[in-house]
Amino acid sequence: MSFHTENGDSSMLKTKQMEAYVVDNKNQKLTTDNAVRVSSTDDSLKVGERGPTLLEDVHFREKITHFDHERIPERVVHARGSGAHGYFELYESMAEYTMADFLQDPAVKTPVFVRFSTVVGSRGSSDTTRDVRGFATKFYTRSGNYDLVGNNMPVFFIQDAIKFPDIVHAIKPEPNNEIPQATAAHDTFWDFVVNTPETAHMVMWLMSDRGIPRSFRMMEGFGVNTFRFVNAQGKARFVKFHWKPMLGVHSLAMDEAQKLSGKDPDFHRRDLWEAIERGSYPEYELGVQMLEEEQEFDFDFDILDPTKFWPEEIIPVKIIGKMTLNKNVDNFFAETEQVAFCPANIVPGIDFSNDPLLQGRLFSYEDTQLSRLGGPNFREIPINRPVAPVHNNQRDGMHRMTINPGPVSYFPNSIAQNSPSTASREEGGFVHYAERVDGQKIRARSDSFRDHFRQATLFWNSMSAEEKKHIINGFHYEAGSVKDKSIRQKVVDMFANVSPELAKAIAPGLGVTAPINVIPNYMKSASPAVSQENTIKSPATRKVAILVENGFCPVSVQSMTEALKAVNAVVETVSINRSVLTGKDGMLLEPNKDFTTTHATFYDAVYVPGGDHVSALAQNKDARGFINDCLNHYKTIGASNEGMELLKATEAAVLAQNLLDAQNTPKVFEGMVAIQNSSDLQPFFAEFINQLSMHRHWSRPV
């Protein structure tokens, strides 16, 4: 099987392979699973019109039996997810560092499938709860499948995988009442935290804005664990993987995230789907941090400790390629639900380290697929099937799909001349890195893993003033929901080790006492790379609502729409109802949404154009509430000419006083943009788009 095309593009390989399994029912006759045509599927076979149903109704039995068994066990964690297909392009050959085949030739595009997910909630939970997000990528490479299984945070709660059942049991709904769903805001989680100080760093990330991303398209991905690159000469280097979103790293406001859980629990799933459908393909650059083996002990943290990250300022991230997601799934169950990721799925050129969390993950992921997907042949499911040919001596097991002729299913053999045979390293065979390991069997942990607070402090120091406020608010809500006051006190006492400033700030919200005799932490170092204040800012794919009613200014609406679409932003008109509206010059406009079918939380910004329609909007509580939510969620708010009158009728009125002198020229105050008495709105549109690109205006006093 050849993987080379004339232009070196192999990105369509997986798509073409999947096409063999796609069934188009259009204009076809209904059949049973055995391809027998069905004459009726509305009524079961009975004795008379009102008699009992007959057991011989095979169509009824097949239909009901399939329905009764069509659910499979959901994932223990990462149950709620969304997936998409795409491809990976290499910027430059990495042959100096690794023999991994998909990292050799920039001319070859490697097909990928990515699944984003929450961790704690069930399949039916909400997208926008405060949680870690999974970011798992399956590369369908020419030498087999490689799975980069990561999260949107670079560290983890625990250092050793043997504690994984404990952290999951603690954060899941409590077993006596199955409450609460999909949240850390309860006693058992925080009880585990205060009794497991190694969680401190990860909890800081979780309480930060990283716990409530704006979208899957605007969050980072991290491999979390330490791996190895191994080149063709057998030289190894330690490596960590990063996905950097091309749109930057952005988050929701906490109140906004909580409202979205009710308004649209599918917010992130819908955002990903719609972006791909309209051609705004999510893009992420792949970066690697690499260390020579002799540098293993050069730092004040253990590079194998999964509760620590490698600060980018001292170990730079080398950007090596880009991933583009350009195709939605055809069937959610067959692809997103049945895809099986495992960190053990590696290819020659990538190997493991002695990271104790990674070592356990190598077993756990594989083990759970055996139960969830019905046996050892889950790799033959189309979404999991490699594009590289598979040759082995496996023949049996549940759901076996491959038909292998001949009597031989063992090695060595002479009947088949030792086919299939093993491959040497030079022939592409996987050879584990020959690391020398000496030691006694012992249940213990290295002393280099004992520092649980220094990097948590580093993270706190790296946050802007506004980001620190958000962390404090996160603690207030999540830990403040704990019923046991002694646990709340222990939370404050524990995080005083991270920052006395933090402990003093969260204590009142938890209703407990701030520690008095805390030794001040004088650590001042920071890692600017972890602050979202320093991320990429762009108006691209941002969603803007234009509020309209009868009497709107058509020129303002049309010109703003054109300006926003020119920077690849998304525009929707929103009105009191869906009836066709008439503009000042008689132009007819059918709104995209009304205040019943949408909400301010669905948008990144709002614009109120001028016109006679403003008085109707100002008298409508939903229109006023729309502006109020945008204000309180720190979003860009724009008003031109008469549009200012709506702002004056809302909670934005006080701040809008700073915009009253915006005569003939745009004026900006805390993300609010206005212009009055002007027929030339182009400067206003330019400033509105500039403010939109900032994502949120966190310093706004609300």
Nearest to 231 by CA among 90, 104, 388: 104
Q: Is the peptide bond before 282 cis (omega within 30 degrees of 0)?
A: no
Residue type (1 letter), 64: I
Q: Assess contact for 630 and 603: CB atoms under 8 A.
A: yes
Return the half-sphere exposure (C-beta side, CA atoms, 13 A cut-off) of residue 127: 21
The CA-based dihedral angle spanning residues 301, 304, 307, 313, taken in that order and rounded to the nearest 10 degrees: 50
Q: Assess contact for 571 and 611: CB atoms under 8 A.
A: no
Residues 6+ apart with CB under 8 A from 199: 157, 158, 167, 192, 193, 307
d(CA 100, CA 112): 15
d(CA 587, CA 426): 71
d(CA 224, CA 202): 11
Residue type (1 letter), 173: P
Q: Print burial letters for 142-167: b (CB count within 10 Å at least 16), e (below 16).
A: bbbbbbbbbbbbbbbbbbbbebbeeb
d(CA 398, CA 444): 40
- Torsion-angle region of 375 (φ positive above 0: left; ψ -120 to 50: alpha; else: beta): left
CB neighbour class for 280 (10 Å; exposed up to 12, middle 13-18, buried from 19): middle
Q: Assess contact for 515 and 500: CB atoms under 8 A.
A: yes
Q: Any idea which residues carry the catalytic annotation?
A: 78, 151
Beta strands in 316-473 (DSSP E): 318-328, 350-352
Cβ neighbours around 502 below 10 Å, total: 23
